[in-house]
Amino acid sequence: MLFEKIKTIICDYFELSEDEVTPETTFAEIGADSLDMVDLAMSLEDDFSVEVTDDTLETFVSVADVVKFLEVAL
């Protein structure tokens, strides 16, 4: 499932446990700054072979936003 793969990426990067990340989890809640978000975008690009533009990256408020983007992009 797409959410599970994204959750794994986020948990690994932010050193979170699996139960700390839900679709509703916001990046503000986990303390992500702009550099963290750029790193996340690069991980998504590598893992899913998609391009995450700066404009798209700005729309990522929650984990669900990333899932929705990838559902359309893939």
Q: Is 33 a catalytic residue?
A: yes
> What is the distance in angstroms between the CA of the first residue and the CA of the last residue of the chain?
13
Distances (CA, A) of 55 to 15, 22, 28, 36, 63: 26, 23, 18, 16, 16
Q: List the catalytic residue out of 12, 19, 33, 46.
A: 33
Where in the sequence numbering do the catalytic residues fall?
33
